[in-house]
């Protein structure tokens, strides 16, 4: 019977176990450069089968929160190279999550204080985080402008360039494309945010076009075996919704099946909340079947509210990888703690966001 601690292959990635550290935004990267504790923070958690970094912007335009890292400047790449070196020295594997937040941003974070961009000029009824005097402050997102069709090729290229820099310069083992949680690629996918009437709006095929163009571009640069993708079919995060998510995501997964990806990372239910939503029923088994029947061979990663019991059940029922989020904040040696069923440190919510080592690299190990 499979366990959480079996070695497993995800595309080109040979992983020591099935435990994944999920992406965790920590707002500790002033000027979009990973902070002084980043290498220690990730290296402490290198016993995970795979580490997925905090979401990392592919351009300044893609930034949506204060003090989150980027992957578009030399200084950023230099620090990320130190991070990957230390994780690899500790025996770990690490991929960087590539994101563009789209409308979930504030004009103060944008080039020349401009409006954030989105598929349509519809404001997200949500908050973003600005760091003021070292403290996190939640503020309303700014009203976005609609991306022009002629801007989209350059946007696709920004993902490709970031992926190539991540692997070739910063020595990441691969990348994860962030297409979940109401950020830009998810905004294009879903009817609640995409009211376009051109080739990137309307039909399911059109709304999925940008996501597939980005994914093909990334895989052409670094290979499908080093590329994962994160999706959240029914999350309400960042004011996102779709009229028919089952049909939409079944289509998306059938298309992704042809790209030989390393893994598919699925957030089940509402990100950081309920795993099932009465108003948004969704059949995840059917989604996985659509992917497999279309020839998809990537590892299947599940996420959202998994504790040890749920994770063990998921693996026994055929899921390949389980991502843990909050548990990794307070438990850098989570794999060791899972092996002996605890005890588990309680994380301090007041130190989730902001600078310094407190609540970041100071949690005790067994």
Mean pLDDT computed over 164-188: 98
* Better-predicted residue by pLDDT, 275 or 158: 158
Half-sphere exposure of 1 (CA within 13 A, CB side): 6
What residues contact residue 154 under an 8 Å CB cut-off, 6+ apart?
none
Name the DSSP class of 334.
H
Give tens-digit pLDDT for 21-30: 999 999 999 9
The number of distinct structural domains making up the chain is 1
pLDDT at 342: 95
pTM of the model: 0.97
Q: Catalytic residue at 291?
A: no
132 located within any domain: yes
Mean pLDDT computed over 298-304: 98
- Mean per-residue pLDDT over the chain, rounded: 96
Cβ distance 84 to 170 under 8 Å?
Answer: yes
102 located within any domain: yes
88 located within any domain: yes
pLDDT at 324: 98
359 located within any domain: no
Q: Residue 109 pairs with which residues in a beta bridge?
A: none
Cβ count near 270 (within 10 Å): 18
358 located within any domain: no
Mean pLDDT computed over 111-126: 97
Q: How far apart are CA 7 and CA 17, in angstroms?
A: 4
pLDDT band at residue 132 under the 50/70/90 scheme:
confident
pLDDT at 217: 98
* Candidate list 65, 183, 291, 306, residue with the active-site label: 183
Q: How far apart are CA 135 and CA 88, in angstroms?
A: 32
Give the domain CATH number at 183. 3.20.20.70
Give tens-digit pLDDT for 310-335: 999 999 999 999 999 999 999 999 99
365 located within any domain: no
Weakest-pLDDT range from 70-84, 127-141, 295-309? 127-141
pLDDT at 353: 87
Query: Is residue 134 predicted with pLDDT exceeding 80?
Result: no
Give tens-digit pLDDT for 226-283: 999 999 999 999 999 999 999 999 999 999 999 999 999 999 999 988 898 888 889 9
188 located within any domain: yes
Q: How far apart are CA 360 and CA 92, in angstroms?
A: 19
Cβ distance 333 to 47 under 8 Å?
Answer: yes
1 located within any domain: no
Domain extent, residue 97, equals 8-351
């Amino acid at each position: 019977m499979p366990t959480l601690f079996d070695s497993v292959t995800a595309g080109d990635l040979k992983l020591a176990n099935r435990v994944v550290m999920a992406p965790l935004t920590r707002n500790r990267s002033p000027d979009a450069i990973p902070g002084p504790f980043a290498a220690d923070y990730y290296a402490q958690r290198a016993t995970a089968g795979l580490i997925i970094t905090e979401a990392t912007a592919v351009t300044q335009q893609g930034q949506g929160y204060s003090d989150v890292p980027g992957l578009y400047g030399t200084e950023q790449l230099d620090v990320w190279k130190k991070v990957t070196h230390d994780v690899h020295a500790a025996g770990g594997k690490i991929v960087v999550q590539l994101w563009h937040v789209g409308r979930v941003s504030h004009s103060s974070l944008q080039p020349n204080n401009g409006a954030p961009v989105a598929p349509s000029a519809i404001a997200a009824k949500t908050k973003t985080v600005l760091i003021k005097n070292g403290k996190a402050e939640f503020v309303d997102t700014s009203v976005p402008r609609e991306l022009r069709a002629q801007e989209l090729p350059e946007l696709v290229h920004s993902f490709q360039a970031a992926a190539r820099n991540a692997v070739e310069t910063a020595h990441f083992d691969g990348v994860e494309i962030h297409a979940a949680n109401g950020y830009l690629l998810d905004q294009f996918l879903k009817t609640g945010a995409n009211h376009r009437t051109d080739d990137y709006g309307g039909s399911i095929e059109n709304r999925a076009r940008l996501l597939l163009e980005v994914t093909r571009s990334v895989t052409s640069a670094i290979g499908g075996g080093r590329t994962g993708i994160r999706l959240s079919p029914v999350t309400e995060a960042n004011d996102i919704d779709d009229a028919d998510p089952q049909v939409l995501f079944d289509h998306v997964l059938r298309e992704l099946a042809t790209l030989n990806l390393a893994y598919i990372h699925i957030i089940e239910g509402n990100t950081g909340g309920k795993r099932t939503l009465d108003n948004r029923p969704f059949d995840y088994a059917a989604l996985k079947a659509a992917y497999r029947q279309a020839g998809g061979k990537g590892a299947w990663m599940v996420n959202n509210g998994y504790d040890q019991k749920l994770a063990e059940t998921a693996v026994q029922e055929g899921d390949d990888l389980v991502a843990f989020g909050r548990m990794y904040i307070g438990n850098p040696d989570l794999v060791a703690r899972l092996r002996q069923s605890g005890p588990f440190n309680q994380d301090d919510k007041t130190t989730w966001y902001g600078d310094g080592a407190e609540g970041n690299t100071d949690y005790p190990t067994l």
